[in-house]
Amino acid sequence: MLARIELLSAEWRVLFGINQEYAPKIGGPRRLARMMVAPDRLAGLVNGLWRNELHDRWQPLAFGLTTLTLALPLASGLVGVVFMEEGEDWLYATPVNEVSAIRPAIFTLIEPHIRELLRQGDFVSLARLVGDHADSTVELPTSRWLALRESCQQRAPALLKVFERRLALPEEYEGIIGALRHIIDPQQQPSLDSWLRVQASRGTYALYFRDIRVERVISPVSMAS
């Protein structure tokens, strides 16, 4: 019997991170992620999935992971092979500039992965990771994105620096939202204005500023242990 379980970007990164003994591989120009577990070593993976940190600490991310955990019973004599691969269909989606809001509980878990992708300059994979786990996102066509950056440069230079470093922490949120409300023209930025009025006040978030001009295919990256 073959069962197919989909994991979101941070879920398989978490799973790979706590199972380095299986030599997971991440990266490459096709953005593939793979891990295989031989039948005689599958019990170790199952035991790891049932550890409390996946049920408690990782609960905000545990959608497919929960399904996977329940699908693999905690028992001896298990037979099977686990093979995971991140498909490439998402690479063909038209990229768009975005401001994405990430809940603090989620951000705490995925921040190490965000910072590693920032370090690598792998903004394509980063866009996928944030897109999978953002609470809300506002999209801006390039013309409005550039106009917003110009407004920042003229009226809020400190905010432009936030755009350039891509990532803003939850403790910076209120100041950034206040600055955006101060500088934007609702007629010129209707989608951003709508997001600020409807979504922005629902909580405090980390923010990711996606600029598609920096996205490119990077050389293969192996993270095998």
Beta bridge partners of residue 139, listed in sequence order: 98
Q: What is the pLDDT of residue 158?
A: 93
Q: How far apart are CA 209 and CA 127, in angstroms?
A: 9
DSSP string, the chain: --------HHHHHHHHHT-GGG--EEETTTTEEEEEE-GGGHHHHHHHHTSHHHHTTTGGG-SHHHHHHHHS-S-SS----EEE---SGGGGSPP-EEEEEE-HHHHHHHHHHHHHHHHHT-HHHHHHHHHHH-SEEEEE-HHHHHHHHHHHHHH-HHHHHHHHH-EE-GGGHHHHHHHHHHH--TTT-HHHHHHHHHTGGG---EEEEE-GGG--PPPP-----
Which amino acid, 69?
A: T
Residues 171, 16, 41, CA angle at the centre, nearest 5°?
150
CA 53 to chain centre: 20
Q: Model confidence over 111-146: pLDDT tens digits?
A: 999 999 999 898 988 998 999 899 999 999 999 999
Q: How far apart are CA 125 and CA 131, in angstroms?
A: 10
Examine the pLDDT at 16 and tell me if it is beyond 80. Answer: yes
Q: How far apart are CA 104 and CA 169, in angstroms?
A: 9
CA 155 to chain centre: 30
Q: How far apart are CA 44 and CA 214, in angstroms?
A: 40
**Please, are residues 146 and 160 in contact by the beta-carbon 8 Å criterion?**
no
Q: What is the pLDDT of residue 223?
A: 37
Indicate the range of 17-26, 33-42, 177-186, 215-224 predicted with least confidence.
215-224
Q: Model confidence over 164-218: pLDDT tens digits?
A: 999 999 999 999 999 999 999 999 999 999 999 998 888 999 999 999 999 864 4
Burial group, residue 88, by CB count within 10 angstroms (0-12, 13-18, 19+) = exposed
Q: What is the pLDDT of residue 125?
A: 87
